[in-house]
Amino acid sequence: SADGKYLATSGIDIPVKIWNVSSSPISILSDSILNDNGLIRAVSFSPNGNFLATLDGKSTIRLWNIPENQFQTLDVQAISMNFSISQPQLLLTAKSNGVVELWQLSTEKLMNNFQSLHLDTKLVSFSPDGELIATVGIDSIVRLWNLSGRQISQFEFMDNVISISFSSDSKKIAVAGSNGKVWLRSVEDLDELLSKSCSFLVGKPNYFMRVVEFCQN
């Protein structure tokens, strides 16, 4: 967990266990999260440490409320998930069909969803400031979205993308490929991209007249 108090462990046919690592000796806080779907593919603590989310081999997400010692199954079939650092009550999930969903954990309500346009979505991530969502598909395209589902930017790669990570200021995104390479890209919103495009067109009045008129306005 972010505060260093808890450690979650699991594996193939092994129940999820939450360990209290702040005590001596280390004690098991809970081992009662049932794992009836075999492999646990991912575990993730919420930034405030109140929730633990698990994603199993059948794409089921379970939420463990640590303070209340209760868990429930989220009504979604997902292949990736990510908590918002800036808003710990928000959980991001992605389905294999490309649909991205934003959940409010306090109410277990779906706040928003949108189609990420990937052939098969495999990764999803919040920016640290909570303003952007990054998605990755088997098409090796990284797309950036705002929370309403409006696409901001995209980056295409020739190699298989296996991991993504935002910088702490949300201004850059690191992309790791299966070939061992890591790419660093600047994150720019639509207004910044338009400004750069208009700057490029300055002094070129004979090209793209309608675009030049738009920039002048």
pLDDT in tens, 19-77: 888 777 676 666 655 555 567 888 899 998 888 998 988 888 988 888 888 888 888 88
3-class secondary-structure state, position 49: coil
Q: Which strands make up the sheet holding 172-177, listed edge to edge? A: 161-166, 172-177, 182-186
Region 76-105: mean pLDDT is 91
CATH of segment(s) 6-187: 2.130.10.10
Q: Which amino acid is at 9?
A: T
Question: Distance (Å, rounded) from C-alpha 41 to C-alpha 10?
Answer: 9
Residues 6+ positions from 100 with CB-CB distance below 8 Å? 92, 93, 94, 113, 114, 115, 116, 121, 124, 133, 135, 145, 149
Residues 6+ positions from 208 with CB-CB distance below 8 Å? 201
Q: Whole-structure pTM over 0.85, yes or no?
A: no
Token pair in block for residue 173: 């995104």
Domain ranges of the chain: 6-187, 188-217
Can you give the pLDDT at residue 189? Answer: 61
Give the single-character DSSP code of 190: H
Question: Distance (Å, rounded) from C-alpha 6 to C-alpha 193?
Answer: 42
Question: Distance (Å, rounded) from C-alpha 49 to C-alpha 44?
Answer: 10
Can you give the pLDDT at residue 118? Answer: 82
The model's pLDDT over 155-214, given as tens digits with 9 standing for 90+, comes to 999 899 999 999 999 999 999 999 999 999 998 765 555 555 565 555 555 555 555 555
Burial class (CB in 10 A: 0-12, 13-18, 19+), 210: exposed
